[in-house]
Structure 1
């Protein structure tokens, strides 16, 4: 049985005070908190077997290599990739997207078309704009509706024989919208286009099966899934990873080097030049172990409860509008009429409540709603109904002070 108090005890930071108030952490969409078991894994690495991997014959190097590759297998199993070498370690979601964009810069031609959605984070817009500038490809956008959903009829109209790539987030970071990625992938494949899904905001809430989705590329970050910052994954189908050229040159990603010619190593090393974030990769695996021990059914049940309760209580506040009202994860993005979101965020912080304010690296969404930004409260499975009550009282106080 899921017991939130027991879960909260796993996270030392949740015990701290902020501005003499107990911390209420509702900025999980930016980064989740880290359980003690992951912190212990980081300390254990640096305390007991800190060494470079893959190239050493000594015991510490072999131990570190084994732990790092075990983590890759954990990630493979979690996402149900067919092979462990289809999992490329990255510095995070942005790095994975740029690796794919760089690879396709040598494969696209002028007049080819790329489709992105109107709900994307800047990290899933800017690399494709740069790719279009470099190749002469044309960027098309799936428009959005007032409720924060994508206009799928328009998406199907955009697809044609010139479509080569489609990019969409699994979940909107700004609104929490869960996009119909199964339909997006299936429709794109009918035209021979490849699909990359940005899973940064989905993976804390949903356990994706990349084989069942038949997705070509899937990217995510460990720090959204109770892991450390500075590490993430790029999943790619084996044949596509073999087709793409290396992203960087250096050590580890080579087979042989002479001044006349260099040959590249096989997967996954072809895309992992240089010394990686060894500790981060190992801790990523431990974080997934932890999330699976909690159970994604339990996580979804708790977060759905928090979303429903938080939505109900917020809508009782006069002048408050929620943006994104369709099927979504535990994110509530809102404004209060006549008050700038930044001002609300500052007062909430003084009362110990951590939320995110601004455009959330999703300026096109804010332009659609004609607003400067929103207040975003993003809940995790370790949050509670009582914390939402604290936030509600803090918002009421902020509204009274700022009106």
Structure 2
């Protein structure tokens, strides 16, 4: 527990003392927190051994109106919202809407440019080939990697992960003891392919990284488990259910320091639309992603396209084998044997989804014009606004769960508690570790995930349980409702998993569930209000089953074309529907 010294504000000399403390180098981390006690005395809290980052009241979020207007103007570039002006779309983690320029590029291809690639010698085909290959360069420039040849086009993340698994099991996994580290937060497309390859090839085994109560990877504990059998880490950068942004810079750097040959695979499906990757800059700071996977439709490109970045060192180190067999990847065909190209292009057989890949290039050009520095700021403003309105409309029926531990223990009466044997979990104690007081290893600046200078001391952000209790109770009176309401199993509650109050880095995704009605019911009745959110396990089965201990949740996911007015309407209707469903259950 951090030591906190409280000093009454009685004179100007206190301000002078405080200023001197701030400017004087000390072993303490100086933190100023100004709030009122019940006796109306204003106080400082200073001289803490750990940094405390905690809001003190439920103030309405604020942001520069110019930023709001900037993104409202961007919204006008999406025909969907003109054609569906009465619809409120909040399923952006599933897929995003498409700007006019992307839609126009598909029409342009089929009306004026349609020809196959890598085959014809006539001008139309050669031009289509040039345009197709130019998208590789566009992707290369967008993520700032070294070579266009490091980019392989796919149909999306599922296809990408099957390619990655094929590479790993062909070249890296050699024995049954070789370890592949995943997390309980992963999308099924980053779990099932590994399971199937292990089953088919009779080698390799899956391990799960330890998690903190906050839902972030426990890097410190993870590093102690790396051994000579550890071959691969395959992890999402952002959870598609919790929205947590993992600190991959610290994780990758420290893992590679232990063993540079460990292959790092990053699922960027949810992170790519909200932040920029700078591969060269990461490499300069000894942060090497070996394989990066994403889907185009998550970042305003059409459905059915995506790409993998494969570091050039892997392409020179390994001999790639086809995942699918057919034309366009062959050097020689004989009567009983064929030979294949040696480059990663071996993973692009047959006729590609040319129009969608061309449109993906247009989408990246479009995103490049948007001020990425404002994207996350604005999206989190909308997220905070949603929480603010939910607190107002839901009152004491809203229960904010800041940790995974609270999700699976204190609030197990949420209606969907599963009877799960600990035998199903490799590292049960690590999921809700109560002894480790180091939180998420200081997540770096969101606008550019590659800014290594933003990585501070590994213990920079204090663990949730270390927050001083006096400050914790001053955050919001609604926190005090939790112990009493847990005793009442019939009491109506709407649960949200919200680590935002502790300033942990995330994107605008909010999971919601109740102890009195299903997520399916909530999403269905919101649909009657023209609101689109998703319900189910969101292809994150392990997260729901083993971590949240619920069978399903409703998910709100925010994108930069959403508006504050939509957020207010969403919160109000969530409350209206929730109270209505609660009455129906009585």
Match of 1:157 among 194, 199, 224: 224
Deviations 1:247-267 (A, max 9, x none): 222111122222354332253
Residue of structure 2 in register with 1:381 after alignment: 560
Instruction: State the alpha-carbon separation in 2 of the partners of residues 138 and 324 from structure 1.
Output: 33
Instruction: State the alpha-carbon separation in 2 of the partners of residues 115 and 268 from structure 1.
Output: 24
Match of 2:177 among 84, 88, 111: 111
Instruction: State the alpha-carbon separation in 2 of the partners of residues 306 and 332 from structure 1.
Output: 11
Instruction: State the alpha-carbon separation in 2 of the partners of residues 245 and 388 from structure 1.
Output: 48
The answer as to 2:231 corresponding to 1:231 is no
Instruction: State the alpha-carbon separation in 2 of the partners of residues 151 and 339 from structure 1.
Output: 33
Deviations 1:80-128 (A, max 9, x none): 1110010000000111111011122233222111111121001111111
Residue of structure 2 in register with 1:218 after alignment: 292
Deviations 1:247-293 (A, max 9, x none): 22211112222235433225342221111110111000000111111
Deviations 1:208-264 (A, max 9, x none): 123314100000000000000100001101231351322222111122222354332
Instruction: State the alpha-carbon separation in 2 of the partners of residues 10 and 267 from structure 1.
Output: 39
Any conservation in 2 of the 1:113–1:165 contact (CA below 8 Å)?
yes
The answer as to 2:355 corresponding to 1:355 is no
After superposition, residues 2-401 of structure 1 pair within 5 angstroms as 2=67, 3-17=70-84, 22-107=86-171, 108=173, 109-133=175-199, 134-189=201-256, 190-191=258-259, 192-211=261-280, 212=282, 213-242=287-316, 243=318, 244-259=320-335, 261-316=337-392, 317=394, 318=397, 319-325=493-499, 326-367=504-545, 368-401=547-580
Any conservation in 2 of the 1:33–1:226 contact (CA below 8 Å)?
yes
Bigger mean CA offset, 257-266 vs 209-218: 257-266
Residue of structure 1 in register with 2:471 after alignment: none
Bigger mean CA offset, 331-340 vs 189-198: 331-340
* Number of residue equivalences: 400
Q: 1:324 to 1:97 in 2, by over 3 A?
A: farther
Instruction: State the alpha-carbon separation in 1 of the partners of residues 569 and 333 from structure 2.
Output: 61
Q: Which runs of 5+ in 1 are unaligned?
A: none
- Give, in angstroms, the shift of residue 26 of structure 1: 0.5
Q: Which runs of 5+ in 2 are unaligned?
A: 1-65, 398-492
- Give, in angstroms, the shift of residue 389 of structure 1: 0.7
Bigger mean CA offset, 39-48 vs 355-364: 355-364
Instruction: Give the RMSD, CA atoms, in angstroms.
Output: 1.6
Bigger mean CA offset, 328-337 vs 55-64: 328-337
Any conservation in 2 of the 1:221–1:232 contact (CA below 8 Å)?
yes
Look up the SS of the partner of 1:230 in the other structure.
coil
Instruction: State the alpha-carbon separation in 2 of the partners of residues 87 and 291 from structure 1.
Output: 18
Any conservation in 2 of the 1:311–1:332 contact (CA below 8 Å)?
no
Instruction: State the alpha-carbon separation in 2 of the partners of residues 12 and 312 from structure 1.
Output: 30
Bigger mean CA offset, 260-269 vs 225-234: 260-269
Any conservation in 2 of the 1:176–1:324 contact (CA below 8 Å)?
no
- Give, in angstroms, the shift of residue 184 of structure 1: 2.3
Which has the greater radius of gyration?
Answer: 2
Q: TM-score, normalised by structure 2?
A: 0.66
Look up the SS of the partner of 2:513 in the other structure.
strand
Instruction: State the alpha-carbon separation in 1 of the partners of residues 391 and 244 from structure 2.
Output: 18
Q: TM-score, normalised by structure 1?
A: 0.95
Instruction: State the alpha-carbon separation in 1 of the partners of residues 523 and 234 from structure 2.
Output: 31
Look up the SS of the partner of 2:224 in the other structure.
helix
- Give, in angstroms, the shift of residue 4 of structure 1: 2.3
Deviations 1:158-204 (A, max 9, x none): 21111011110010001100011112222332222101000000011
Any conservation in 2 of the 1:140–1:158 contact (CA below 8 Å)?
no
Bigger mean CA offset, 233-242 vs 274-283: 233-242
Instruction: State the alpha-carbon separation in 2 of the partners of residues 226 and 115 from structure 1.
Output: 30
Instruction: State the alpha-carbon separation in 2 of the partners of residues 138 and 40 from structure 1.
Output: 46
